Structure 1
Amino acid sequence: MLPQNRKDYMTIHAAAFYVLPPAFDVVNFYQGRFVSLRIRRRHP
């Protein structure tokens, strides 16, 4: 029971390790687009 739970935990941890960085990249990309749009609106 314990090794299975540990395996599941490591699998979830690995999945989060592979899934979260691209999600943060997407968030940063969209934040950068919004910031650039704001700068373009301020300084046409």
Structure 2
Amino acid sequence: MTVTLFPIRLFIAAFMMLLAWPFAFIASVGRSETAVEPQCLWRK
């Protein structure tokens, strides 16, 4: 069963990564250089 499920799981994982790439690209297109720096609000 592992032999049959592994290629299917591999294909689904690759498909999800390819599907997520355009969303990450669109989210980062309009960002300015100052917005790229992480905020340090967690330090107190």
Please report the TM-score for the alignment, with normalisation by the length of structure 1. Answer: 0.57
Which one has the bigger helix percentage?
1
Who wins on radius of gyration, i.e. which is larger?
A: 1
Give the gaps of 5 or more residues in structure 1.
40-44
Deviations 1:1-44 (A, max 9, x none): xxx1021111111101211112011111101122xxx28xxxxx
Structure 2 match to 1:17: 14
Number of residue pairs matched by the alignment: 33
Please report the TM-score for the alignment, with normalisation by the length of structure 2. Answer: 0.57
Give the gaps of 5 or more residues in structure 2.
34-44
| 4+ aligned runs moved over 3 Å, structure 1 | none
